[in-house]
């Protein structure tokens, strides 16, 4: 599906939409918007190929089975956490559970290495939890 002729972009997908996106395995890329909406497409197509077709940009992510990878582009950690919390319903429909792992990729866009503690999605909803790096490597 890396061919853009086959690209299927969906906002707030239904389970039926997900069948078109996931194909053989649960793998998608997407964007978390400020209002909690989620735009997703098949994971084989990079964000840079899809952005020209979108009217709004947001926090880039990829979903592969039980791992949600957030591509950091200098957004605040608080903003990322708020958007993930707002998107809970949509992520659940995609089959992502509270036990799923969140990986923060700080290298791809920013060329900066930051370490994070192991993060399970459900932790974002615990009172007092704050999404943030545990350290910064020089």
What residues does each domain of the chain span? 4-136
> Between these two residues, 17 and 23, which has the higher pLDDT value?
17
DSSP secondary structure, the chain, as one string: --SGGG---EES--HHHHHHHHTTSSEEEEEE-TTS-EEEEETTS-HHHHGGG-S---EEEEEETTEEEEE-SS--HHHHHHHHHHTHHHHHHTT--TTSEEEEE-HHHH---EE---EEGGGGGSTT-----SEE--
Tell me the pTM.
Answer: 0.88
Tell me the mean pLDDT in the region 106-116: 91
Mean pLDDT of all residues in the chain?
A: 90
Q: CB atoms < 10 A from the CB of 52, how many?
A: 7
- Please determine, for residue 4, whether its predicted confidence score (pLDDT) is greater than 80: no
């Amino acid at each position: 599906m890396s061919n853009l002729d086959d690209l299927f972009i969906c906002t707030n997908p239904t389970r039926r939409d997900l069948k078109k996106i996931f194909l053989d395995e649960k793998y998608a890329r997407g964007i978390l918007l400020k209002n909690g909406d989620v735009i997703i497409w098949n994971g084989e197509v990079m964000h840079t190929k899809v952005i020209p077709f979108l009217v709004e940009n947001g926090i880039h992510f990829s979903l592969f089975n039980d791992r949600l990878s957030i591509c950091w582009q200098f957004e605040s950690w608080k903003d990322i956490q708020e958007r993930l919390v707002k998107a809970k319903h949509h992520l659940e429909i995609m089959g992502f559970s509270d036990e799923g792992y969140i990986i923060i990729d700080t290298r791809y866009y920013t060329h900066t290495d930051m370490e994070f503690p192991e993060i399970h999605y459900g932790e974002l909803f615990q009172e007092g939890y704050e999404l943030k790096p545990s350290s910064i490597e020089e």
